[in-house]
Amino acid sequence: MSVPDQNTTAGDPDAAGSTASGRLVLVVDDSRLQRKILSSSLTRWGYDVIEADSGEAAMKICLSQRPDLILSDWVMPGMSGIEFCKLFRSLSTESYGYFILLTSKSEKDEVAEGLDAGADDFLTKPVDGHELRARITAGERILKMQSELSAKNQMISETLDELQRLYNSLDSDLIEAKKLQQSLVRERHRAFPGGNLSLLLRSSGHVGGDLVGFYPAAAGHLGLYAIDVSGHGISSALMTARLAGYLSGSAPDQNIALEKLPDETYRSRPPADAIETLNELVLDEMETEHYFTLMIADIDLRSGRVVLGQAGHPHPVVQRRDGRIDQDGPGGFPVGLMSGVTFSQFEMQLQPGDRLLILSDGVTECPTHTGDMLGETGLEALLHDLRAVQGPAFFEALIWSLTEAAGHAEFPDDVSGILFEFHGNEEAM
């Protein structure tokens, strides 16, 4: 190995020097003189320097303390600079070490071999002090960027960990919120003297904006309601919880769909009047941008006469005993959009063996695998297939059919429904 002239090597390109912020540099060369020349310049520039006379000795040093920069000769007895570089790169560490190979080789294939081994830069021997300083400065920039990147990655990792903790906490809260919302529909099936009632409430997420329920009205009468609040998620769910109090079956004095009689009993108000009252309550007392569709129905369990009020909710469906299907209603304006709106009501007659179905638009607007929505026509075909299925099993079959039509079990909107199967029993409630 040739020994460079001290006047043409590391020398003193910057007599004033500059601090290197305590960077540790490992100089690896089997030539003691070469190590001395490089170490002197690096020490004068403010670096902490460790020397090794072979690749094997250098690896032992790297295992005990991690250098920031390495200057290693390519050709050495025993382990070569290339072999040492490969072993150094195989070490598991969070910090990066900048590796410069000292070589007299300049062929492209040899340079490519060094880069493949993990070298960052090359210095041609004999080493020029100005070039050494320039390459070391370039390495400093890389190390600084790596350090900043590591710090940012650490910050990102800590932020992600915190977000994961928050997500887990929120997910746990939402699971509890789902349980509470589902508890608003305490009974999913009940048999009455005049017929059987089944309810469905299935949110597209943890919680949703749909709600269905029932309440006792006058003797022999059953009140039903179906709500679909705009939007999804927590704010919509909170709105449904608030609205549930206005249609409570356990607190008739708070139920706006009921009126108290002189004998302290209750009977249904005209559904249109109840919806109008609720519309004004929402606009006057609730500071919200949400609106909702609503269906209120009063069923005479003896005669099968049904009086309904519809406020933007999908049309009620009557499936006759012989399988025929009727879908009709005035449509109406949603609740909570505008004050002074009047709502209309209408009537229908159920015969023994008929059933009334009130569904949210999550059913008719459910996308199919073809990209189209199910629609009222698709709903009729679905109900024709399910005409023999009764009670809670009907809603289980309905969800299965929607899943098959959509091609997956996740629906973009909440799905809710009320099924009342009229038997015409004379001994009504």
252 with 244: CB under 8 angstroms? no
Helix (H), strand (E) at residue 240 = helix 234-246
CA 228/CA 358 separation, integer angstroms: 12
Among 152, 170, 197, identify where a domain stops. 152
Tell me the mean pLDDT per 10 residues along the chain, length 429. 40 44 88 92 92 94 92 92 92 85 75 85 86 90 87 88 82 68 78 94 80 91 94 80 88 92 92 95 86 96 96 95 92 91 93 96 87 88 93 94 83 90 66
Please give the pLDDT value at position 250. Answer: 84
What's the pLDDT at 3?
Answer: 38
Supply the pLDDT for residue 107: 64
Query: Domain with 49 in it: what CATH number?
Result: 3.40.50.2300
142 plus 227 within the same structural domain: no
Residues 282 and 360 in one domain: yes
In a shared domain, residues 117 and 246: no
Domain contains 147? yes
Rounded Cα–Cα distance for residues 164 and 167 (Å): 5
Residue 201 and residue 182: Cα distance in Å, rounded?
A: 7
pLDDT at 175: 67
Identify whether residues 71 and 217 lie together within a single domain. no
Asked if 315 and 216 sit in the same domain, the reply is yes
Q: Which of 322, 270, 271, 305 is nearest to 194 (CA)?
A: 305
Say whether both 352 and 247 belong to one domain: yes
Range of the domain at 266: 184-422
Domains held by the chain: number: 2
DSSP string, 341-360: ----EEEEE--TT-EEEEE-
The residues near 115 (Cβ < 8 Å, ≥ 6 apart) are none
Evaluate whether residue 5 is within a structural domain: no
Question: Strand pairing of 98-103 and 121-124?
Answer: parallel
Do 264 and 388 share a domain, yes or no? Answer: yes
Choose one of 129, 152, 175: the last residue of a domain.
152
The pLDDT value given to residue 428: 41
